Amino acid sequence: MAKQTKRMKVVTAAVDAQKAYALADAIALVKDNAKAKFDETIEIAMNLGVDPRHADQMVRGVIGMPNGTGKTVRVGVFARGPKADEARAAGADVVGADDLAAAVQEGKIEFDRCIATPDMMALVGRLGKILGPRNLMPNPRLGTVTMDVKGAVTAAKGGQVEFRAEKAGIVHAGIGKASFPAEKLLENARSFIDAIQKARPSGAKGNYVKKVAVSSSMGAGVKVDLTTLSA
């Protein structure tokens, strides 16, 4: 077993691994113990009672964090003509059509969120094997295939978070930075939890939310008391 650093020992000692903390207390504890030399991301992870391999148990969607995430999001847009100009004016980092597709095929993926106008999907569809595994494929249900390019770019830049249940039924997201006030982190966390609750799929049976934990980039995970998830 690898030895813990002195800082990690202090962080671990501050957390009772057997205790489930109230959501607000868990966030405050994680924030207070985020002592790295950079502004750590505060994350929430939810273990759901779903098997995303089944279509009727997939949990997926987007949520606009009320206080943003503190993360700089690079946005790529597949569009032509006026819509391409609209994307650039809205602050998109990379805009193009065939040229952008060629760059992606060469492995030059210089964006964290991908948006496309509907007429571009025939082109973008050919990039599915590259964009799909990276969760970058535009999807109309997520608002990333749209004619409202300005709105989509603004939302992505403003703290919109895309979530998707992973193989083990875990869904997670960054809810802000350690430098955020605790109340802002809590508000973001509650918004995310509410979005997950509303995204409950028809195939989910029994307990939907099984476990919840909060952590920072370099910190220990803190268990959350499920009875405190609601405001």
Q: Tell if the pTM clears 0.85, that is, is over it.
A: no
Is there a single domain that holds both residue 106 and residue 153?
Answer: yes
Provide the token pair at 81: 């003509």
Give the C-alpha distances (Å, rounded to integers) separating 225 from 20, 163, 196.
5, 22, 17
Is there a single domain that holds both residue 91 and residue 144?
Answer: yes
Please tell me the total count of domains within the chain: 2
Is there a single domain that holds both residue 165 and residue 223?
Answer: yes
CATH code assigned at 208: 3.30.190.20
Element (H, E) at 163: strand 160-164
224: which DSSP letter? B
- Which pLDDT belongs to residue 4? 54
Structural domain including 125 reads 75-157
Is there a single domain that holds both residue 179 and residue 112?
Answer: no
Is there a single domain that holds both residue 208 and residue 171?
Answer: yes
Is there a single domain that holds both residue 153 and residue 79?
Answer: yes
- Which pLDDT belongs to residue 200? 96
pLDDT tens for each residue of 139-163: 999 999 999 999 999 999 988 999 9
Please report how many Cα atoms fall inside a 13 Å half-sphere around the Cα of residue 190, on the Cβ side: 16
Q: In sequence order, which ranges of 14-71 are alpha helices (DSSP H)?
A: 23-32
Residues in the chain: 231
| CA angle 148–145–119, rounded 5-degree value | 90
pLDDT tens for each residue of 7-56: 555 555 678 888 999 999 999 999 999 999 999 999 999 999 999 999 99
Q: pLDDT class for 5, splitting at 50, 70, 90?
A: low
User: Which residue type, as a one-letter code, is found at position 147?
Assistant: M
- Which pLDDT belongs to residue 167? 85
Contact 172, 44 (CB under 8 A): yes
Examine the fold and report which residue of 131, 157, 183 is the final residue of a domain before the chain moves on.
157
- Which pLDDT belongs to residue 17? 83
Examine the fold and report which residue of 138, 157, 176 is the final residue of a domain before the chain moves on.
157
pLDDT at 230 over 90: no
